[in-house]
Amino acid sequence: MQGSHAAYTRRGQTSALNRWFESVVTSHPPSLYRGVPVKLYYVTQARARPPTFVLFEGVHFSYRRYVANQLRAAFDLHGTPVRIVLRARAERRRPWRARTAS
């Protein structure tokens, strides 16, 4: 039982997660979302107990399940639930400019 508890409370380094994530996305890229290619930039572990990871919105549920299974295998998280939280990437906006009178 100690192995499951250790996996439940483990935190991963962001740099190791991102190296792993880059290889996963390269070997099995996500499918199109509403006809647009999904761009995944990084993953981070938001919390432990249970291990919770943050990805971006617009990923099909089957790809989230694939990523969760790959996380379990790569970081020895067997026997513990893995949560994948989806967040939208903040869009860069241009600063508002005042209109010039003509």
Could you read off the pLDDT of 14-55 as tens digits, one per residue?
888 889 888 988 898 888 877 888 778 778 888 888 888 887
Confidence of residue 90 (pLDDT cuts 50, 70, 90): low
2-87 architecture in CATH? Answer: 2-Layer Sandwich (3.30)
- The reported pTM is 0.69
Structure tokens at 47: 């919390």
What are the boundaries of each domain within the chain?
2-87
Read off the pLDDT of each residue in 54-70 and give the average, rounded to a whole number.
83
Please check the confidence at residue 98 and state whether its pLDDT lies above 60.
no
